């Protein structure tokens, strides 16, 4: 009898010490989210719409290129007042080039080159796994909830909570927080679309912020396709010439 | 109607107009944020198909009024041989056009500015080619440019002491396009993995002769300049040099980096060797002094949680004049009669450059849509001469409700004691209204 009890106790202890077979690998899910949202290197067109509290709208069209983990560049095609502006991101470094000024100036991730709710970090978003580590991962009602923590202090949001659809492994909602836990904004992905080339992902990203009540911003995605690019396309030297790559 | 009354009436109309435009659109803080439907929006990406030709620019109209600082030294110098009015309305029309043609690795680019300015009773027109050049992108690592080109080196916002091969910008309008120089340029760039992410080298050849870049420096030289750029440990580093030729040799070092997600720091250090200055002595004699001039700048750009952007810069101008030297100059202007002053003019041009003294502070605060005033961006900047305590204070409001139309109202107030830089400027204050339409 004592042997039986001891065996049961050992079995319970051993079970308790071993991770359950169904434990979630948050880092793996996050990497999958990144790859499902876009290829590692690609080009795309985006329309950004800022909706003001009075309902009026400001629209911007950008041509964007991304390569690898940490290189991204965007060129403004419209409106005329912004045409020719380009912005580059290399890791946590960001610059803005204004044709009239004629030189790139360093900008920070929390600034916004277009106003509205999207900041520079949203517009030049790298892979989530490049900027964040997974603090915890849970499965709740057919969705994953990933709690992510910024890798460095220059990342725009100290932490984010990402809700991921389990079936498609696509994010549906992302809450962005400051270091003190204040909610800065919420991003909502929607309207999944087939962009061709095996890219099936949300075509709309909406955002609102309790810090900017009444303001909303929307990003529409188009013509996302994989593209091979040289590393030098993502340098300050190339910033005035991004249009040559279209 | 007097000038003052006209200004007061104009200001009242402008204030009323601003109120109508922005005051009637309160922030709906409690508005329901839900219910946004993506169907409201469309995106016809085919509209943005690339064409080899690109034409853009702006047309602008502006009107300015300057309240004269009668009896000030710079007003007196500006009045020599002229009959300046009591108060001056100025203004004009401008058209900036940028035309680009790109085919494969070749690109032709031109930027021109045409103006028609009104000053007092006279209209004067001008057309200037700011840039006109041909470029060849040999491969992703190498490209060449030949023609009139604007180079802007340096990291400073208001001042850039390392900007060796370009014209000086105005600290009160640093974003304005400027005329370039005729030059040949080659650039090599290479990216790397690791802490050194980018290395780029720019080589420049700039000839100076009669009719070609003749305002750059002494004629009869072919100047050579170079800049090495490194992105090292997330810091931008530039090392630049200008050869001894039309100007004396100069060397520079700049750096900038982001410290946090809302704070950037930058700095510049420049050495101009054997820099020549014409210095007015206490007895009015002019001596030519030659010495190495060290200039430096340090600045911060900070985005506050209130969405206020702050830019602060300290600038030491090694080419400038000390308080004592400036005092001798102001004494000279006070003491001499018009004929003597007119004769001395070539010797005192150095004192009439903007920010001609040694130590300056620039501070700019700009706020996006304060108090729920949509499309309104007010800003305030101050330039302080730390040597004599004089300053220029400029509040500014831009309004951008209408697509591609930017309206700007600016007021500049200048103050300082007698014998100080801003206390002796030609105007006490200036007002400017500008409308710019982009196409």
Give the C-alpha distances (Å, rounded to integers) separating A47 from A206, B42, B249: 12, 9, 48
Closest chain A residue by Cα to residue B186: A237
Instruction: Go through B271-294 and write b for each residue having 16 or more CB atoms within 10 A of its CB, e for each that does not.
Output: bbeebebbbbeeeeeeeeeeeebe
Compute the average pLDDT of residues B386-404. Answer: 96
Strands (E), B18-84: 53-68
Question: Any idea what DSSP says for residue A103?
Answer: S
Q: Do A42 and A227 contact (CB within 8 A), yes or no?
A: yes
Using the beta-carbon criterion (under 8 Å), do B257 and A84 form an inter-chain contact?
no
Nearest to A110 among B38, B174, B303 (CB): B303
- Residues of B within 8 A of A208 (CB-CB) are 33
A210 touches chain B (CB under 8 A): no
Q: Output the pLDDT for position A3.
A: 59
Share of chain B above pLDDT 90, in %: 74
Compute the average pLDDT of residues A210-223. Answer: 92
At B84, the pLDDT band (50, 70, 90 cuts) reads: low
ipTM computed for the complex:
0.86
Compute the average pLDDT of residues B429-434. Answer: 97
At A54, the pLDDT band (50, 70, 90 cuts) reads: confident
Convert the pLDDT of each residue in B334-384 to its tens digit: 988 888 888 888 888 899 999 999 999 999 999 988 988 889 999 999 999
A156 touches chain B (CB under 8 A): yes
Q: Output the pLDDT for position A221.
A: 96
CA B290 to chain centre: 28
User: Regarding predicted confidence, which is higher, B123 or B409?
Assistant: B409
Q: Output the pLDDT for position B149.
A: 97
Domains observed in chain B: 1-50 (no CATH), 51-438 (2.40.160.100)
Residue whose token pair is 């696509």: A170
- Residues of A within 8 A of B260 (CB-CB) are 108, 153-154
- Name the minimum distance, in Å, from the CA of B208 to any CA of chain A: 23
Convert the pLDDT of each residue in B175-207 to its tens digit: 888 999 999 999 999 999 999 999 999 999 999
Backbone CA torsion sign across A220, A40, A108, B186: negative
Q: Output the pLDDT for position A116.
A: 83
Compute the average pLDDT of residues A151-170. Answer: 93
Q: Output the pLDDT for position B81.
A: 75
Compute the average pLDDT of residues B92-120. Answer: 95
A200 touches chain B (CB under 8 A): no
Compute the average pLDDT of residues B259-285. Answer: 93
Q: Do B275 and B248 contact (CB within 8 A), yes or no?
A: yes
Task: In whole angstroms, give the CA distance from residue B379 to residue B198.
Answer: 35
In sequence order, what are the residues at sequence separation of 6 or more whose Cβ sits closer than 8 angstroms to the Cβ of residue B304?
A: B262, B310
Which A positions 87-126 lie with beta carbon below 8 A of chain B? 90-94, 98-103, 105-111, 115, 121
- Name the minimum distance, in Å, from the CA of A36 to any CA of chain B: 21
> Which of A230, A235, A242 should be substituted to probe chain B, the one whose Cβ sees the most B Cβ atoms within 10 Å?
A235
Using the beta-carbon criterion (under 8 Å), do B438 and A79 form an inter-chain contact?
yes
Task: In whole angstroms, give the CA distance from residue B160 to residue B270.
Answer: 9
Share of chain B above pLDDT 70, in %: 90
Nearest to A90 among B31, B197, B372 (CB): B197
Using the beta-carbon criterion (under 8 Å), do B38 and A235 form an inter-chain contact?
no
Using the beta-carbon criterion (under 8 Å), do A108 and B33 form an inter-chain contact?
no
Task: In whole angstroms, give the CA distance from residue A82 to residue A105.
Answer: 16
Instruction: Tell me the count of A-B CB pairs closer than 8 A.
Output: 181
Nearest to B41 among A49, A54, A156 (CB): A49
Asked if residue B90 has pLDDT above 50, the reply is yes
Give the C-alpha distances (Å, rounded to integers) separating B347 from B219, B318, B355: 20, 19, 17
Using the beta-carbon criterion (under 8 Å), do B258 and A108 form an inter-chain contact?
yes
Number of neighbouring beta carbons within 10 Å of residue B230: 18
Number of neighbouring beta carbons within 10 Å of residue A59: 16
Asked if residue A128 has pLDDT above 90, the reply is yes
- Residues of A within 8 A of B262 (CB-CB) are 108-111
Q: Output the pLDDT for position B85.
A: 61
């Amino acid at each position: 009898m004592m042997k039986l009890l001891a065996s049961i106790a050992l079995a319970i202890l051993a079970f308790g010490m071993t991770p359950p077979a169904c434990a979630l690998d948050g880092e793996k899910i996050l990497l999958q989210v990144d790859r499902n949202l876009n290829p590692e290197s690609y080009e795309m067109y985006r329309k950004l719409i800022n909706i003001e509290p009075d309902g009026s709208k400001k629209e911007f069209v950008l041509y964007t290129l991304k390569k690898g983990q940490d290189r991204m560049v965007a060129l403004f095609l419209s409106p005329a007042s912004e045409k020719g502006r380009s912005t580059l991101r290399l890791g946590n470094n960001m610059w803005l080039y204004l044709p009239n000024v004629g030189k790139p100036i360093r900008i920070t991730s929390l600034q916004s080159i277009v106003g509205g709710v999207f900041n520079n970090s949203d517009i030049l978003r790298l892979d989530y796994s490049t900027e964040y580590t997974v603090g915890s991962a849970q499965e709740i009602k057919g969705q994953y909830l990933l709690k992510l923590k910024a890798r460095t202090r220059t990342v725009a949001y100290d932490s984010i909570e990402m809700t991921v659809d389990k079936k498609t492994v696509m994010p549906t909602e992302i809450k962005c927080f400051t270091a003190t836990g204040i909610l800065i904004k919420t991003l909502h992905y929607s309207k999944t679309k087939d962009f061709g080339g095996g890219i099936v992902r949300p075509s709309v990203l909406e955002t609102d912020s309790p810090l900017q009540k009444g303001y909303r911003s929307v990003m529409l995605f188009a013509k996302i396709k994989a593209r091979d690019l040289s590393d030098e396309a993502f340098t300050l030297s190339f910033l005035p010439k991004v249009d040559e790559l279209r | 109607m007097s000038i003052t009354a006209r200004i007061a009436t104009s200001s009242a109309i402008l204030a009323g107009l601003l109120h109508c435009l922005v005051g009637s659109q309160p922030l709906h803080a409690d508005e329901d944020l839900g219910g946004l439907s993506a169907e409201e929006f469309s995106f016809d990406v085919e509209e943005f198909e690339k064409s080899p030709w690109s034409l853009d620019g702006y047309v602008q109209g502006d009107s300015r009024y300057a309240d004269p600082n009668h009896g000030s030294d710079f007003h007196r110098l500006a009045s020599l041989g002229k009959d300046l009015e009591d108060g001056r309305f100025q203004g004009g029309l401008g058209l900036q056009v940028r035309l680009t043609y790109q085919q494969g690795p070749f690109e032709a680019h031109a930027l021109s500015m045409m103006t028609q300015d009104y000053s007092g009773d006279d209209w004067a027109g001008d057309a200037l080619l700011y840039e006109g050049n041909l470029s060849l992108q040999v491969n992703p690592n190498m490209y060449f440019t030949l023609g009139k080109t604007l180079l802007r080196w340096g990291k400073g916002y208001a001042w850039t002491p390392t900007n060796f091969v370009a014209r000086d910008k105005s600290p009160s309008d640093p974003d304005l396009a400027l005329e370039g120089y005729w030059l040949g340029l080659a650039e090599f760039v290479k990216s790397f993995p690791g802490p050194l992410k980018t290395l780029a080298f720019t080589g420049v050849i700039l000839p100076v002769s009669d009719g070609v870049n003749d305002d750059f420096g002494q004629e009869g030289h072919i100047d050579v300049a170079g800049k090495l750029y490194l992105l090292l440990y997330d810091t931008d580093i530039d090392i630049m040099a200008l050869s001894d030729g039309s100007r004396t040799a100069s060397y520079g070092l700049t750096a900038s980096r982001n410290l946090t997600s809302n704070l950037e720091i930058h700095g510049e250090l420049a050495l101009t060797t054997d820099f020549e200055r014409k210095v007015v002595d206490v007895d009015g004699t002019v001596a030519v002094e030659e010495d190495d001039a060290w200039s430096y700048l340090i600045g911060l750009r900070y985005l506050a949680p209130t969405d206020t952007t702050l830019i602060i810069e300290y600038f030491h101008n090694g080419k400038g004049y000390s308080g004592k030297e400036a005092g001798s100059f102001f004494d000279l202007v006070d003491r001499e009669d018009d004929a003597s002053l007119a004769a001395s003019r070539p010797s005192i041009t150095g004192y009439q450059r903007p920010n001609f003294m040694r130590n300056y502070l620039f501070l700019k605060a700009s706020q996006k849509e304060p108090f729920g005033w949509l499309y309104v961006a007010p800003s305030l900047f101050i330039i302080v001469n730390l040597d004599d305590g004089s300053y220029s204070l400029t509040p500014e409001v831009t309004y951008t409700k209408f697509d591609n139309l930017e309206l700007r109202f600016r007021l500049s107030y200048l103050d300082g004691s007698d014998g100080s830089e801003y206390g002796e400027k030609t105007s006490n204050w200036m007002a400017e209204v500008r409308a710019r339409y982009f196409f």
